[in-house]
Structure 1
Amino acid sequence: MYNSQLPTDGSRASKNVSMSHGTDAELFEPKAERHGNERIRILLKSFGLRTSLIRLKVIDALLSAADSERKLGVRGVHTHLLDLDIPLSFLSVREVLKRLCSEGVITLHPDKSYSLHPQAIAILHSEPASDASLKA
């Protein structure tokens, strides 16, 4: 009789395997990044936007640039993402930047660089469960 829990290569399954290592997220995702992503998720939610990987990465790129006092345009954000082995098209990055700009999350400057809007920065630095950070 076939047992789907047994290996099919003829070897015996180990019965002493410990499964108490935590969840997949704890094993594969650094805690610091998870905390940063949670702040960005709260930011997107406060502006009424869904969370997507590309939005998380674009906002993270703008935060990194601000931390190192650099300015990034579309090409700079795209290059930053490629350097992190995140294969997104230039057009996808441009569209996300345009959408974030139209929703007021980021600001387009006259030199064609982007930065987080002051209200977005305030939300990122506020308490995570604060109702005052939600957009009216």
Structure 2
Amino acid sequence: MHNSHIPTDGSQQHRDANFQPDPGLLEVLAPLHGNERIRHLLKCFGLRTSLVRLKVIDALLTAAGNERRLGVRGMHSHLQALDIPLSFLSVREVLKRLCSEGVVVLNSDKSYSLHPQAEAVLTGRIEA
């Protein structure tokens, strides 16, 4: 049984109800809140949390913070470089599902990025 009050990643996070993040600091905010923000994002879009989804969204956040875009192959290579053993097919299917749910968009250059609404949820500008 899942208890949302117990951190599962080993870190303890405290929220300040008055905190209003700067929407231009997506790449700075994402690491500060770890997987908790990504879990919240997935929940807002009605998706279950899975290791593959967490890692894929985290990789998209990292790429956005470095002003890069990742396609399926780039995403898979990035995850392998981090010693995250996910198959190419798993990465591709997760990206397709995240696209179909509106969390991620497929760009014209076949790269993926977070949907603007998903970015807004992560930065606290809106609650989905």
Class of the TM-score when normalised by the shorter of the 2 chains:
0.7 to 0.9
Q: Equivalent residue for 1:133?
A: 127
Indicate the percent of aligned positions where both proteins have the same amino acid: 70
Q: Equivalent residue for 1:9?
A: none
Q: Secondary structure at the match of 1:35?
A: helix
Q: Equivalent residue for 1:46?
A: 44
Q: Secondary structure at the match of 1:88?
A: coil
Aligned counterpart for 1:76 among listed residues 74, 89, 92: 74
Size of the alignment, in residue pairs?
106
Shift of 1:110: 1.1
Q: Gapped runs of 5+ residues in structure 1?
A: 1-22
Query: Match of 2:83, as an amino acid?
Result: D
Q: Gapped runs of 5+ residues in structure 2?
A: 1-6, 14-29
Query: Match of 2:45, as an amino acid?
Result: F
Flag the structure with more relative contact order, 1 or 2, with Cα contacts below 8 A and sequence separation at least 6.
Answer: 2
Q: Equivalent residue for 2:119?
A: 121
Query: Match of 1:123, as an amino acid?
Result: V
Aligned counterpart for 2:53 among listed residues 49, 52, 55: 55
Q: Structure 1, residues 32-65: CA drift from partner, whole Å, max 9, x if none?
A: 9683200000000000000000000000000000
Query: Match of 1:119, as an amino acid?
Result: Q
TM-score w.r.t. structure 1 length? 0.71
Measured on the aligned residues, the alpha-carbon RMSD in Å equals 2.3
Query: Match of 1:94, as an amino acid?
Result: R
Q: Equivalent residue for 1:111?
A: 109
* CA–CA distance in structure 2, aligned partners of residues 39 and 112 of structure 1: 26
Q: Secondary structure at the match of 1:112?
A: coil
Which 4+ stretches in 1 moved above 3 angstroms? 23-26, 29-34
When Rg is computed on C-alpha atoms for both structures, the one with the higher figure is 1
